[in-house]
Chain A
Amino acid sequence: MSFWKIFRIALEGLTLNKVRSFLTTLGVIIGVAAVIIMMAVSNGAEAEVADQINAMGANLIMIQPAMERGGVGQRTGPPPSLRYGDLAAIEQNVTGIGGVSAEQNTDREVKAGKVTLTNIPVVGTTPGFLAVREYGVAQGRFVTDEDNDKVNDAAVLGYGIAQDLFGDQDPIGQIIKIGTYKFTVVGVMAEKGAVGNTDYDNRVYVPIKVVFKRFVSSRFARDNLRVVYVSAQSKEMMASVQSQLNTLVMQILDTTPESPGFALTTQDNIIQMRTSATETFRNLLAWVAAVSLVVGGIGIMNIMLVSVTERTREIGLRQALGARPRDVQFQFLLEAVVLSLVGGLLGVAAGVGGSYLFNTLSTMRTEMVWSSIPLAFGAAAAVGIFFGYYPATKAAQLDPIEALRRE
């Protein structure tokens, strides 16, 4: 008896009770959809992180003041911090670095002529920023050491800001107001776009010392650097640069390894932080997928057992007409597999649709992994075979005389 003939018999059996068949496959549908969405979410998260790494610049190390542990009797007040002058020391004394920069941000109103933009991130930085962040200037120049030394009120506009303020006009040499201070536009950044929550084109860059002078309120903490960015020349240099930085920064801050007063953070740490949220979601989906597939499989087993009982007479008749035990077994096994594959098909549709909805309706980025479709189908078929085996074997082992006698 050929495969297709038994396949047709199996389909006939299933269409007998369409609603029941559909409800039975619901578990498989959810399971398969969860597999596909899970992989899309995970893939989307990876793509997001990759984009963020590219945007931040490669092989980045951040030096930040350590969080105060705040034990009783411990020194209070701000932790020791690197200062503007220490950047040069790092640049000169650490080998294998690509660049050093510091950033001090503040949100301000930016005005040019009649155009006013509110809540614009104003980034105070150093010339090293371009190397560290692997970012470029489209027009004019970036912040220079001289700007910092002289505390020049020079501004470099993000691509989007330049468009907003000046449109087709040449922004170089124009005067803008940041807060209450006048700045001269010296450059425009290359277009970079938004990555995650950061719109790189919607920022203004100024010398970090200007931020200290004009915008930082505390007189005492003026040139304390909250974050220093150091990039290593290559991935292989990362460990070496990190250990050199450790020693050097401890010397500068005059601290001990027991209480260094600062922390080095790498991109790996950031990636872990960023992905932990999606990972939780992904793990949840993995569990949903696994549980749904098992529950779906049990549903299929259940309905197949019911079907074997309901159709005992049919089985007996087929046996009397010459069906061998393995023909009967194959028929019911195939019915279970067809059932789970139909569920798989609907599940793929639900999964692809669900991934699309997640992408458009939530902040979570999803990217379809097309290879997850055969994977999900395989899982569905495996569920059908695994959970269909017992009912099918039970059907095959029926005694034809008993089966024919059944009402």
Chain B
Amino acid sequence: MTATSAAAGNPTSKLIEIKDLSKVYGAGSIAVQALRSVSATVEKGEFVAVMGASGSGKSTLMNILGCLDRPTSGDYVLDGEDVSRLSKDRLAGVRNKKIGFVFQSYNLLPRLSAVKNVMLPMLYTGHNHKSDKERYEHALATLESVGLGDRAHHKPNELSGGQQQRVAIARALVNNPSIILADEPTGNLDTRSSQDIVSLLHELHRQGATIVMVTHEMDIAENAGRVIYLQDGQIVSDQLHASHIRDAYSNADGRTA
């Protein structure tokens, strides 16, 4: 599957469709406009990097895309379902089934083994008739798919940073989500481990996964097929190749610094 631009999408393959998305924190004179009428579309199978200076609104955008937060106004259609007005319970269900999170700080539960950590999302999947054994075996298989089958029974503190992030990626994959949201997945890693994780994401993308990744690092963003650049709560650049926005990126840095 090849990357396609936001403009040239086939309607049936739209995975994320946001329209006039706004988010305001607070009210009255202290109100902060975190997102201003943002519209974008992500096709199935795309690997999108989101960039922007801190305070540009990318975290807010990721929270809304991850169904952790609801927009003040605008629409968000995820996989054909309008999720912008769902209740907390329904949002939890959407997160559980359609979204796989990868965090900068891994967020593994320290007292659980790797495989138990990977099993966590399945605990919250209602109406699934899998037995404990099936769940365990599925989690183990998912760990193997990210190359950590031999570390399944290690606690997080017995794993390197790169290995911990692999466990987190396995956890994100285990419920077979529609999209993987990675928030600076390499932010806490050294160069070699970063490269490891990026190639793993690449591999997942090659196998057909849809990935939206926030990053600060240009060379990481270059791995994505498309880069969205945010500034002051608006999309200022949406390019198919990272190299095209180098200028915008440096300009923005110059302005905000």
Contacts and interface: CB of A to CB of B under 8 A. Distances in A.
Chain A interface SS verdict (over half): helix
Interface stretch (A59-67, A220-228, A254-262, A314-322): A314-322
Contacts of A252: none
Contact of A322 (B103, B109, B121): B121
B124 A400 contact: no
A12 interface: yes
Contact of B124 (A314, A322, A401, A404): A322
Contacts of B166: none
Contacts of B88: 324-325
B79 interface: no
B95 A12 contact: no
Nearest to B101: A320
Nearest to B126: A1
Nearest to A16: B111
Given A314-B109, A327-B124, A401-B63, A319 B92 contact: yes
B149 interface: no
Contacts of A401: 63, 68-69
Contacts of A317: 107, 109, 120
Interface string A1-37: 1000100010010001000000000000000000000
A214 interface: no
A108 to B, nearest CB: 77
B14 to A, nearest CB: 23
B157 interface: no
A213 interface: no
Interface string B164-180: 00000001000100000
A20 to B, nearest CB: 15
Contact of A321 (B63, B89, B96, B126): B96
B92 A323 contact: yes
A322 B107 contact: no
A227 B204 CA distance: 101
B7 interface: no
B125 interface: yes
Interface string B88-122: 11001101110001010001010110000000110
Nearest to A5: B123
Given A1-B123, A313-B107, A327-B124, A322 B66 contact: no
B171 A12 contact: no
Determine which residue in A16, A314, A322 has the highest number of CB atoms from chain B within 10 A of its CB, and name it: A322
Size band of the A side of the interface? 20 to 34
A4 B107 CA distance: 24
A1 B89 CA distance: 13
A72 to B, nearest CB: 82
Nearest to A12: B111
B107 A404 contact: yes
A5 B135 CA distance: 13
B175 to A, nearest CB: 8
Contacts of A321: 95-96, 101, 120-121, 124, 171
Contacts of B124: 1, 318, 321-324, 327
Nearest to B109: A314
A72 B120 CA distance: 89
Contact of B66 (A1, A9, A314, A320): A320
Contacts of A324: 88-89, 92-93, 124
B93 A322 contact: yes
Contact of B92 (A5, A314, A322): A322
Nearest to A322: B96
Nearest to A397: B88
Given A5-B123, A12-B111, A318-B120, A325 B95 contact: no
Contacts of A320: 66, 68, 95, 101, 107
A101 to B, nearest CB: 77
A1 to B, nearest CB: 6
A314 B63 CA distance: 17
Contacts of A313: 107
Contacts of A323: 92, 124
Contacts of A314: 109
Contacts of A9: 123
B153 to A, nearest CB: 16
Interface in A291-335: 313-314, 316-327
A307 to B, nearest CB: 13
Contacts of B111: 12, 16
A14 to B, nearest CB: 11
A103 B154 CA distance: 85
A327 B97 CA distance: 16
Nearest to B98: A322
8 contacts: A320-B107, A322-B92, A322-B95, A322-B96, A322-B175, A325-B92, A327-B124, A401-B68
Instruction: Enumerate the 5 nearest inter-chain pairs by beta-carbon distance, A residue then B residue, closest first.
Output: A322-B96, A322-B124, A324-B92, A321-B121, A324-B89
